[in-house]
Amino acid sequence: MRRLLTAALLATVALTGPAAGAQPRAGGGRGAAGTPIVAADQASRAVYVLRSEPRSWDVGRGTGVLWSWSADGQAGLADLDPGASWSNPSEAKLRELGGRRYLLATASGGLAAVVGYPGRDVYWAAHTGPGNAHSIDLLPDGNVAVAASTGGFVRVYAASAGSRATRHAEVPLRGAHGVHWDPRTRLLWALGSRELVALRVEGPADDPGLVVVHRSALPTRDGHDLAPVLGTKGRLWVTTGTAVHQYATGRHRFVDYPLSSRISAPGVKSIGDDPATGRILMARPEPGHACVWCTSVLTFHQPDGTKRMVRGAMYKARWWTSRRD
């Protein structure tokens, strides 16, 4: 019954959001509306693109929601058993390829998907197995990288070959939690529990290969989130179980950054800076929440503040921008 109600809600939001003409811009949008926020909400098993201006969002009523997507009830994904594979959606990003925009999403149940925005057509989707698919990125050749934490692997799927392509290259990475394609270095960066690795993607698009070209030990353990620092070129955000770090890709070292004493915190599930304003967005578990790894409150810096999703159980939240560096 809950799944049927959720599907009905998503259908309503889908009609009221984009149909009203309130579409986030591809690059994040500096306009009056501000850069939207995308959040993976495990309570409703959905991904939401949210207006950044309100102090709170009520996704059950569509308040503040610009767009949404869920694998639940999608006939075109029935072969991937979304009832199980879409459990606990964990990642959500905006990317562009060939002039088109895509939502990238993963779920702990194993589903990884690249979905057209705003049309929701599925570019590629796969069941990656029981390894807790935790992060995803889209490569310039149309292939898709996935990191799985309990599976301990980073894969590049030959997604350019078809919407259900399963051929892939794989490298082991203990506790793989984050993956990011960096256009400056033209390397795929992946974050494990104890190290950050740089991978070179080789071979033809329909039969890719992966080679580790550099490894950096983490300054603190239990790596979790990996994202570009959009305000400083050549840097990556790296969160761990106890801190938030920045890494300089050209120097292959972790470096100091402004306001680190205020920004760094334990257990941060996602972090990023708004390319339009420089404001920092963080998601970290909320004390007392029924879901021990979730939150209904997002934290901001520069300026400081919080925003709340009514009855939310968000895991990661990011600025809705396709910028990578």
* 214 falls within a domain: yes
* 20 falls within a domain: no
Counted domains in the chain? 1
3-state SS string for 48-107 = EEECCCCCEEECCCCECEEEEECCCCCHHHHHHCHHHHCCCEEEEEEEEECCEEEEEEEE
CB atoms within 10 A of CB 43: 18
Structure tokens at 315: 């895991």
* 124 falls within a domain: yes
Is pLDDT at 291 greater than 70 in this prediction? yes
Quick check: 77 and 301 in contact, CB under 8 A?
no
**CATH code, domain carrying 167:** 2.120.10.30
Is pLDDT at 5 greater than 50 in this prediction? no
Is pLDDT at 6 greater than 60 in this prediction? no
In percent, how much of the chain has pLDDT > 90?
90
Mean pLDDT score, 44-60: 97
* 54 falls within a domain: no
pLDDT at 41: 98
pLDDT at 251: 96
pLDDT at 33: 62
The predicted-structure confidence for 85-121, as pLDDT tens digits, reads as follows 999 999 999 999 999 999 999 999 999 999 999 999 9
pLDDT at 282: 98
pLDDT at 34: 87
Which stretch of DSSP H or E encloses residue 254? strand 253-255
Cα dihedral angle (103, 104, 108, 110), rounded to 10 degrees?
Answer: 110
* 313 falls within a domain: yes
Prediction pTM value: 0.90
* 208 falls within a domain: yes
In percent, how much of the chain has pLDDT > 70?
90
Work out the mean pLDDT of the chain and round it to a whole number: 91
| DSSP, residue by residue, 162-208 | -TT---EEEEE-TT--EEEEETTTTEEEEE-SSEEEEEEEES-TTS-
Rounded Cα–Cα distance for residues 164 and 169 (Å): 15
* 296 falls within a domain: yes
Domain hosting residue 211, numbered range: 91-319
* 141 falls within a domain: yes
